[in-house]
Amino acid sequence: MLIREEIEIAAPMPFVWAVFSALERWDDWNTACQSCHLIEGEEMAAGACFSFVVRPFTLPIKVKPRITECEPGQKVVWEGERLGIHAVHTWTFREINGKVTLISHEEFDGPLLWLARLILVPRRLHSLTRKLLASVKQEAEARYQAQKVS
Confidence at residue 108, expressed as pLDDT on a 0 to 100 scale: 83
Q: Is 52 left (phi over 0), alpha (psi -120 to 50) or beta?
A: beta
Q: Supply the pLDDT for residue 85.
A: 76
Q: Give the pLDDT score at 121.
A: 60
At 84 the pLDDT is 77
Q: For 3, how many CA atoms within 13 A lie in the half-sphere containing its CB?
A: 21
Burial per residue of 93-112, b for 16 or more beta-carbon CB atoms within 10 angstroms, e otherwise: bebeeeebebebbbebebee
Predicted pLDDT at 115: 56
| Greatest Cα pair distance in the chain | 53
What is the third-level CATH fold of 2-149? Alpha-D-Glucose-1,6-Bisphosphate; Chain A, domain 4 (3.30.530)
Length of the chain, please? 150
Q: What pLDDT is recorded for position 88?
A: 96
CA distance 103 to 110: 24
The pLDDT score that the predictor gives to residue 116 is 56
pLDDT recorded at residue 63: 86
Which of 3, 24, 50, 31 has the alpha carbon at shortest distance from 139? 31
Question: Which H helix or E strand runs over 125?
Answer: helix 121-149
What's the confidence (pLDDT) of residue 117? 54
Rounded Cα gap, residues 18 and 2, in angstroms:
27
Spans of the chain below 50 pLDDT: none
Query: Which residues is 50 bridged to in the sheet?
Result: 38
